[in-house]
Amino acid sequence: MRIAYLDCFSGISGDMFLGALVDAGVSPKLLQDTVAALDIGARLEISRVLRGGISATKVDVYAHGEKDLPREVFWEQQEQDHAHQHSHGRGLNEVRRIIEKSAISSTAKATAIRIFEALGDAEAEIHNTPVEQVHFHEIGAVDAMIDIVCAAVGAESLAVEEWVCSPLNVGGGTVKCAHGTLPVPAPATLRLLREAPVYSSGPQVELVTPTGAAIVKTLSCRFASFPAMKIEKAGYGAGTREFPDHPNLLRLTIGEVGLADDADASLIASPTSNERIMNEKMINEKIMVLEANLDDLSPQVLAYAMERLLAEGALDVFSVPVQMKKSRPGALLTVLAKMEDANRLTKLIFAETTTLGVRRREEQRQTLSRRSQTVDTTWGPVRIKIANMNGSVSNYAPEYEDCRALAEAQHVPLRTVMQEAIQQYLRGERKA
């Protein structure tokens, strides 16, 4: 299974996350094309910088020719210009419309909208107002729109199956924002980080921004120390400020994990043994199974609900025809969820279906070690999903969404794209 680990020893912000993505291998062109697709008068500038002597990628957003600023600097300038009295920002509905009409994948759109909804929910709770009436101030400005949508697109391109995050260093002191000077963490950040492990160390400034906190929350990160993995690559995203004796960086590490929970520690010490364990051992994990019987729901609504559940992070969703009491035809909806997502997905089932109750139970799941490999076809790149068992490939399949996007863009049959992707993968295996 491919995982990503966010090391937030200097917090996290939107631009730091983008820098880490690019440094870890996400194509700069992909992010630049995403900015162009939004069509909101912005561009990216990507550069190499040093933070504490460590080389990192810095991503800056230019909106209408002006570079984005840390928000306290932004609001200090607004105070001097008195411009903040006339700037109301964007509402959530406007943000949704901009994202929905952009030419990015449906999954990335859903992720970006969920990040904004998380921000909106936090602001609405803090200000005791309906979320539809929340205006995002600097969060709804062009630079944050770019940060959030590019974060969704870049995270999707990594094909990571699980995000893990370290405890977050929130910084300290105070921060100047739209509602005055407030203690760190700012109220929205504090709300978004509810139940997350945090601490304060180093520079007495804001290190975790609301956008950064919303990204961590929306990616459904599991919080843990550095996990056991076979490291594939790592990247560093740079923050705007430079601090003495404190590298202002976000580190992103990507790798394959397949170690059983009871793996012998003495074997792990040997790289050869470690590789063998990762290939041969199945992954054991605890999941939550959610079920609901539905007998009065339109099939179209059920299909939409299943799509929403998958977009919101369900591991799997399926329905089975059943015969209910009084011989009514119905459907049994089943959702497989990570333990930490169960409550959120239960609320979604209630919101999107007519059920009056959701059953839940914990189950153990064993999965094969999986990885992703990209092959080049006549029409563009396609990711191949590969499963290993007993040290050899047991299954492989082209990523459906990649093949579908190429088929639609190039006007060729979907089966043709999928067949060529498999042929290219097998050709590469024979050469290896």
Q: Which residues sit opposite 56 in a β-bridge?
A: 49
**What tens digit of pLDDT does each residue of 287-319 get?**
999 999 998 899 999 999 999 999 898 999 999
Half-sphere exposure of 135 (CA within 13 A, CB side): 11
Q: Is the pTM of this model over 0.85?
A: no
Beta strands 2-7 and 222-223, pairing class: unpaired
Cβ neighbours around 307 below 10 Å, total: 14
pLDDT of residue 228: 85
In order, the DSSP letters of 154-219 are: HHHHTT-SEEEEPPEE-B-SEEEETTEEEESSPHHHHHHTTTS-EE--SSSSB-B-HHHHHHHHHT
**What tens digit of pLDDT does each residue of 386-431 get?**
988 776 788 899 999 999 999 999 999 999 999 999 999 998 888 7
Share of the chain above pLDDT 90, in %: 59
d(CA 291, CA 316): 12
d(CA 152, CA 346): 23
d(CA 311, CA 321): 23
**What tens digit of pLDDT does each residue of 27-45 get?**
999 999 999 999 888 899 9
Residue 275 banded pLDDT, cuts 50, 70, 90? very low
Structural element, H or E, at residue 277? helix 271-280
